[in-house]
Chains A and B, each alone.
Chain A
Amino acid sequence: MAEGHVVHAYGVAPAVVLDVPEHKVVPPTGIAGTPVRLLALGELAVVVGDLPEEGFGEAAWREHAEDPDWLEPVARGHHEVLQAVAAATDVLPLRLPGIYRDDAELQGLLGGQEEPLTRRLQFVAGHDEWGVHVHLVEDTAEEAPEATSGRDYLMQRKAQVAGRDAAREERQRLLTEAYAGLAQVSTDSVLNRPQDRALSGREDPMLLNSAHLVAKEAQQQFFARADEVSRGLLEPAGMVMEISGPWPPYNFAAPAADGNGAADDPGPTEGR
């Protein structure tokens, strides 16, 4: 690594990728057009790049992390590299910001996690992540007729509030059912906090923001289920579902905490 540079870590892949020509696994360039390379680490290969410290080092992160003009190209570069790697092999995305002084520091930090990361790679192997957003486009609660007296108005107002609460509760029930339906055909699922309007740039509020780890061979089944819950449960209640993907498994990359894994659970409890 050259002087005045930091090592940016993109993701972790199985070490077998080290046996194939590098250009078949990683794209030639990543963030800010910098070269991307593979770093060996036991059973793993780490996808890394060398970035100029000035502009992308710790000071830059401290100063600019909340500035979209700076963050956006970094995030897109990181994502593009992972998309390319995911097309070639299994990969665990590493969280931003992931910059290190040099290869040795990164290898030292990752070394202790080699085993859980290897197990996690096996867990996500042959899967894609799919994102689900549900927006409320039409409030189906009924509007009250015009009130003719103050008393009428208060009664109607009360009924309106009750109606809105009931509609909200009903939507919650439908969303829970929809999510459970999708989770059934997924290997793993997570619920994330819905994005607020200022961030999503949409007028209609987001009611559900979930991610699903779906086996490649179960993909059609997942789409069919999504279509089913969308038509059967959500649309009649004024909600629309949007699916995005395939994503590298960002939401499923972190090794599960002890006793909280599905496929990587060692089985019968032992000293838990």
Chain B
Amino acid sequence: MDSHKPLHLKTFAMILIMIIAGPLGNVLLGKGMKSVGSTSVASFSELTHVVGRVFASEYVWLGVASLLTFFVANILVLSWADYSFVQPASSMAYGVVALFSVFLLGEEVSPVRWIGIAIICTGVFIVGRTHPRTTEHP
């Protein structure tokens, strides 16, 4: 009983890390890749050149670190909380990524796209809230 509240705090802290680190990682990768420029390759030497430019970008490395943070928080929280609780909570990440894109990258998001993103959040929330196990007999 005593462990109930700390467990909740721990869970919410992890979910908070997830819905910030995941979108932040994507935004950083986006910023890094925009500075890398075109990635279309016609030959092997061009490919090595592009890969070299990708990994020379500090934003790409920060993005990878941020996504790793998301991944570790995700694995940790799943070791004590149900997937059907964690996944709907993380559906907010789709809204957060749009907000970060607007405020950190200065991207423009049209009203139709905002509505689409809101519907995606709702859909992901519902997909995750349903019973995750259907193949096991009682």
Chains A and B come from one and the same complex: no
Which residues of A are in contact with B by a Cβ distance under 8 Å?
none
